Structure 1
Amino acid sequence: MRTDGDHMNGTDAEHQIVELAATTRTPWQAGVGVIAPYDFALDRELWRWTPDDVSLHVTRLPCVHVPVTVDQAADLSREEHVAPAVRALLAPEPLAVGYACASGSFVHGREGEQRLYQSMVDAGAPAAVTTSGALVRALDALDVNRIAVVTPYVDSVTDRLLSYLAEHRVEVTSSVGLGLLSHIWRVTYAEVSAAVHSVDRPDAQAVFISCTNVLTYDIIAPLERELGKPVIAANQVTMWAVMRAADRQAVAHGQSLINVAAPSAA
């Protein structure tokens, strides 16, 4: 049974809520836009790098009925698909827009990544980031130019990544691809960790795990402790860069990249 004291406490609390509502404005939540491939399944992972005062506005690129190949990556990078996706995100006024697809942003090399970036800006993005552009900036921020590479791709797609890195004068000491053509998001932490350990070499300054559909958040810090070097991943570099472009800080513990100062997102 409620006592008079309980009733007074409840009433006082209600008065405080009314007074607060009358005297303060609802805090505005900043947002960033994310463009993801049609088969992207890891929205929750992106949120884990997102600070509490930022919302993610995520949209998908149109579906294409092809496996994860060079052809798929090329389709995902087409301006006629990317520009409408950018415009679809502009209504809530995001501070920046990230293109969250590794293969779609490296498939046509350095010039292709720059065209992709420019198409996002031309479509109205206040600041733009691509996964592969973010990768290069992350390596610069970590002062790294020799890396080992893990991908879920078939060899033809992995080769495009290696060529893209070579254009940026990044040496790949070794690489491994898992040869997957679909359902990449089902790769387990154990499988990713085993691939990282298999590809690491003493002369590699860091390890990069490609593809935004590969789950990595929880294993980056343990892998860094085990290997004694930075481990970076596609979703991580994307969120690190898009938050920097929005003048925010990505959130994570024990991940080397998150705590370094980033160069300009331009």
Structure 2
Amino acid sequence: MTLGDLAIPPPLQQVGIGVVTPYDFALDRELWRWVPDDVSLYVTRLRYAPLAVTIDMAVHISDPEQVLAGAANVLAVAPLVTAYACTAGSFVKGMAGEAALVSAMRAAGAPAAVTTSGSVLAALQHLGLSRVATVTPYTTDLTVGLTSYLMEAGVEVVATSGLGLTSNIWAVPYEQTAELVRATDVPDAEAIVISCTNLPTYDLIAKLEAELEKPVVTANQVTMWAALRVAGRKAVGPGQRLLEA
């Protein structure tokens, strides 16, 4: 049998999504798990800086000029939307800072743009929720920064906790994150928000939602959900409430 004898399907018509991440982002494969087969991710990273995961790093990676340059890096492959995939970098300067990052990506030429923190707000609005508990891998100051951002947007934070990490966040095991979620959840919380695009969560979401009987929204999940919506596609995540709402 030769190659000519095989029935080879035509290539899929790909939809492109640009993704700008911090220099230490380690979870490219997790992002792809939310993506349907006819979508390609074009991932680029911000310029490296020797900083731990602190307020100083968050401020550094929230620089609109850096994000503009990152968005420009993927323009040649014509993404329909570009996402800035970083929670802390998009909340550290409040809602005005998040809007500045969207404007920077649009100024670079992106047809549309979303950020992780902006996508958290969009997801909560989509679900009709306004009281949350938050779980982060961060030190206290960054965890407080997330609370401030959410409260500025009119979201009440009724409980919060963090792991206090400044590096290697991608190595946190699922069970450690799950234990922190369980310990932080309170009856007043309508949902759990798990922050940081470097914290693995894909396989936790549906399990925790079934256990806690409330939505669990996570940084990478909302980033892909929002970007794919703009691109006219649905995110892939069996049993995840946000994706089924």
Q: Deviations over 1:80-126 (max 9, x none)?
A: 21111101101110111000000000000011101111111111111
Give 2:177's aligned amino acid: V
- The match for 2:148 is 163
One of 189, 200, 222 as aligned partner of 2:207: 222
- The match for 1:127 is 112
SS at match of 1:217: coil
CA distance in 2, matches of 1:161, 1:69: 13
- The match for 2:90 is 105
Q: Is the 8 A contact 2:65 2:104 kept in 1?
A: no
Question: Do residues 177 (structure 1) and 162 (structure 2) align?
Answer: yes
CA distance in 1, matches of 2:11, 2:224: 26
CA distance in 1, matches of 2:26, 2:163: 18
TM-score by length of 1: 0.89
Give the direction of change, closer, same or farther, for the CA distance of 1:26–1:218 in structure 2 (3 Å limit): closer
Map 1:176-255 to 2 at 5 A: 176-255=161-240
SS at match of 1:207: strand
- The match for 1:3 is none
SS at match of 1:119: helix
Q: Is the 8 A contact 1:138 1:257 kept in 2?
A: yes
Give 1:254's aligned amino acid: G
Q: Write out the 4+ residue segments of structure 1 that deviate beyond 4 Å after TM superposition.
A: none
State the shift of 1:54 in Å: 0.4
Q: Is the 8 A contact 2:127 2:242 kept in 1?
A: yes
Give 1:227's aligned amino acid: L
Give 2:211's aligned amino acid: E
CA distance in 1, matches of 2:171, 2:5: 51
Structure whose CA Rg is larger: 1
CA distance in 2, matches of 1:138, 1:27: 29
Give 2:233's aligned amino acid: R
State the shift of 1:27 in Å: 3.8
- The match for 1:5 is none
SS at match of 2:170: helix
- The match for 1:32 is 17
SS at match of 1:139: helix
State the shift of 1:259 in Å: 1.7
CA distance in 1, matches of 2:233, 2:75: 19
TM-score by length of 2: 0.97
Give 2:83's aligned amino acid: G
Give the direction of change, closer, same or farther, for the CA distance of 1:70–1:228 in structure 2 (3 Å limit): same
Q: Is the 8 A contact 1:212 1:234 kept in 2?
A: yes
- The match for 1:14 is 4
State the shift of 1:63 in Å: 1.1
Give 1:67's aligned amino acid: A
Q: Calculate percent identity across the aligned residue pairs.
A: 52
State the shift of 1:245 in Å: 1.0
Q: Deviations over 1:152-208 (max 9, x none)?
A: 000111111100001111011100011001111111101000000000001100001
SS at match of 2:193: strand
One of 47, 58, 61 as aligned partner of 2:43: 58
Q: How many residues align?
A: 245
State the shift of 1:33 in Å: 0.6
State the shift of 1:15 in Å: 4.4
Give 2:30's aligned amino acid: E
Choose 133-142 or 76-85, whichever is displaced more. Answer: 76-85
State the shift of 1:28 in Å: 2.6
Give the direction of change, closer, same or farther, for the CA distance of 1:88–1:158 in structure 2 (3 Å limit): same
